[in-house]
């Protein structure tokens, strides 16, 4: 793991919880320079990149395509650590069922599915959609981003759509809400989280702290 002092670019395409993420990064890494930006040159200059996202995937993909964010993220993943959060993670996949079906960036294999209107827990009780609140994340691989975070720690989720965990070679963590889904994905320089680390208290701050030290 490297020193905290670095330049972290938080990509701004108008659809992320940008300031909360930036403030959390500044809190865990006081020596880092955190920049909220849509400028590809600033992203290229950064040592680490955060790709956040909230809202409907169709609106996100419209802005991602308009600002050519997909090209920026694709290039960043090849050379430096990248953290995708919530809809940022979903945008990396091939396709989403949301909004009648939306093509995503296709940087990771697999699709994004709807929890459904009749979601039930193991006892048959109806579960609310969106999945909103705290839930346990089971770490499925040993990864530097999980350093110092207890197995089955609780993280904060807000989502109605999910990435399937079954037969996905890049799953780094799972969560159960009616059925298992991918809570985190990892591939080379990329780590993606369906949960919001910036809203996840100590465990979330530790994950962001790990990101600030991770060499990819």
* Sequence ranges of the domains in the chain: 7-213
Is the pLDDT at 1 greater than 90, yes or no? no
Read off the pLDDT of residues 145-196 as tens digits, 9 standing for 90 and up. 999 999 999 999 999 999 999 889 999 999 999 999 999 999 999 999 999 9
Cis peptide before 130 (omega within 30 of 0): yes
CATH of domain 7-213: 3.40.50.880
Residue 37 has pLDDT above 60, yes or no: yes
The C-alpha R_g of the chain, in whole angstroms, comes to: 16
| Number of Cβ atoms within 10 Å of the Cβ of 58 | 13
- Catalytic residue, candidates 60, 86, 104, 212: 86
List the catalytic residue out of 98, 104, 175, 196: 196
pLDDT value at residue 167: 87
Averaged pLDDT, 69-86:
96
Q: Torsions phi, psi of 148, nearest 5?
A: 75, 10
Could you tell me which residues come within 8 angstroms of residue 71 by beta carbon, excluding any fewer than 6 positions away? 40
Distances (CA, A) of 86 to 8, 89, 90, 126: 18, 5, 7, 24
Mean model confidence pLDDT for the chain: 94
- Choosing from 60, 104, 198, 212, the catalytic residue is 198
Residue 19 has pLDDT above 80, yes or no: yes
Per-residue pLDDT at 97 exceeds 90: yes
Residue 86 bears catalytic tag: yes
Active site residue 198: yes
Yes or no: say if 181 and 167 are a contact pair by the CB < 8 Å rule.
Answer: no
Q: Is the pTM of this model over 0.75?
A: yes
* CA within 13 Å, CB half, 197: 32
């Amino acid at each position: 793991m490297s020193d905290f002092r670095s330049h972290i670019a938080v990509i701004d395409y108008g659809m992320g919880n940008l300031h909360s993420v930036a403030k959390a990064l500044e809190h865990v890494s006081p020596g880092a320079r955190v920049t909220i930006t849509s400028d590809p040159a600033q992203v290229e200059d950064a040592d680490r990149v955060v790709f956040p996202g909230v809202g409907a995937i169709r609106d996100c993909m419209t802005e991602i395509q308009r600002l050519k964010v997909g090209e920026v993220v694709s290039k960043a993943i090849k050379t430096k650590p990248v953290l995708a959060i919530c809809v940022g993670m979903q945008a990396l996949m091939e396709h989403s069922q949301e909004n009648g079906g939306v093509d995503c960036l296709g940087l990771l294999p697999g699709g994004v599915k709807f929890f459904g209107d009749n979601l039930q827990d193991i006892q048959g009780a109806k579960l609310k959609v969106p999945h909103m609140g705290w839930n346990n994340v089971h770490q499925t691989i040993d990864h530097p981003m999980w350093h110092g975070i207890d197995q089955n720690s609780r993280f904060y989720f807000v989502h109605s759509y999910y990435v399937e965990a079954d037969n996905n070679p890049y799953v780094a963590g799972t969560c159960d809400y009616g059925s298992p889904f991918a809570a985190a994905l990892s591939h080379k320089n990329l780590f993606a989280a369906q949960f919001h680390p910036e809203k996840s208290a100590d465990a979330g701050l530790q994950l962001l702290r790990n990101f600030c030290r991770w060499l990819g």
